[in-house]
Amino acid sequence: MSLLVVGSVAFDAVETPFGKCEQMLGGSASHFSISASYYTHVRIVGVVGGDFSEAEQAVFDKHGVDTSDLERIPNGKTFRWQGRYDYDLNVAHTLDTQLNVFAEFKPKLSEDSRKARLVFLGNIQPDLQREVREQIPNAELVALDTMNLWIETARDSLLRTIKGVDVVIINDAEARQLTGIPNLIKAARKILSWGPRALIVKRGEYGAALFTAQSYFAIPAYPLESVFDPTGAGDTFAGGFMGYLSSQEKLDEAAMRRAMIFGSVMASFNVEEFGTERVRRLTHEEINDRFHTFKKMTHFDEIPFGKPMAK
């Protein structure tokens, strides 16, 4: 069981209608790795500055996340993002972005990282994602995340990168933007025609959908009475999804469907508190309890439809 994530490690400042946090551990690689660590061994490739303290490192250490390839630049500052959410928690309003050391990030993979069985290419520049993919030719499954910025500014590079991965994980707005097709089903078919085995479309409070060339599988979001902070929910979902797959011998569609549930379970915990706070305190019992509740929530008995009623 080995899983590699390449992405950002950051400090986030977030304000929602329910509270405010001036600084918290964030970034795609942070949310992903902590989530995935409940299922498998995870390694991070990223970069931080001298302001990345022992307290943040301790979070990774506690979860057994290997940070050997987390580059440290003592005289630099860690990537910082500040945002605000109004009552529509599906929309993040960026107030400030300071790339700092992340602006010059060039992923450096050790020999151990190049041997990873599964790889998640977090939301970074598509050229960098492709360079990482090319360094791990024997990976059994590679998944990619992206965002509207790269669709707008580096679409051709992104399309070349997508051709070399197995799974694409994006949200519904990005799927439509990437293809120029408003219908999500048709947009999914277009993306799959570029080469991936599967496409996962995240739909926020409406759940997520898995598309393959032969099938379609959709799940609702886990019902929550309190949604506090959605920052990092997508990467937490990806961490649960990829982490579970890493624990499985067979990476078929059945495993992907189960992984979708675990991804949704992890994301549901993520939004209950700021940043990684809730996910980092989880127990396996809590995860399994919510998984079984999710299963009951989506289960129904198959009863054959009878003859039409006589008029």
Indicate the range of 11-25, 246-260, 292-306 predicted with least confidence: 292-306
Residue 212: other Cβ atoms inside 10 A: 16
User: What's the mean pLDDT when you consider all of the chain?
Assistant: 93
Terminal-residue alpha carbon distance, the chain: 61
**How far is Cα 165 from Cα 77, in angstroms, rounded to an integer?**
32
Give the model's pLDDT for residue 243: 98
The residue written with tokens 């943040």 in the block is 56
Place domain 3-298 in its CATH homologous superfamily.
Ribokinase (3.40.1190.20)
Residues 89-97, mean pLDDT to the nearest whole number: 86
Burial of 138 (0-12, 13-18, 19+ CB in 10 A): exposed
Closest CA to 38 of 202, 193, 259: 259
pLDDT for residue 302 is more than 90: no
Give SS3 for 171: strand
pLDDT tens digits, 195-205: 999 999 998 88
Burial of 106 (0-12, 13-18, 19+ CB in 10 A): exposed
As given in the structure block, the two tokens for residue 230 are 């959605």
- How far does Cα 280 stand from its chain's mean position? 16
Structural element, H or E, at residue 124: none
Residue 200: other Cβ atoms inside 10 A: 26
Give me the helices (H) in 87-171, please: 111-114, 126-135, 148-153, 155-162
Please list the residues that pair with 21 across neighbouring strands: 14
**How far is Cα 97 from Cα 119, in angstroms, rounded to an integer?**
27
pTM for the whole structure: 0.94
Answer yes or no: are the C-beta atoms of 269 and 229 closer than 8 Å.
Answer: no
The residue written with tokens 């992923």 in the block is 107
Residue 244 dihedral angles phi and psi, to the nearest 5°: -65, -45
**How far is Cα 142 from Cα 3, in angstroms, rounded to an integer?**
10
Residue 64 CB-half CA count within 13 A = 10
Pairing between strand 198-202 and 167-171? parallel
Please list the residues that pair with 101 across neighbouring strands: none
Indicate the range of 132-136, 167-171, 184-188, 227-231 predicted with least confidence: 227-231
Give the model's pLDDT for residue 311: 58
**How far is Cα 116 from Cα 215, in angstroms, rounded to an integer?**
28
The residue written with tokens 């998640």 in the block is 120
- Of the two residues 205 and 243, the one the predictor is more confident about is 243
Residue 15: other Cβ atoms inside 10 A: 17
Give me the helices (H) in the chain, please: 28-36, 54-62, 111-114, 126-135, 148-153, 155-162, 172-179, 184-192, 233-246, 253-270, 277-280, 284-298
pLDDT tens digits, 21-58: 999 999 999 999 999 999 999 999 999 999 999 999 99
As given in the structure block, the two tokens for residue 257 are 């469907």
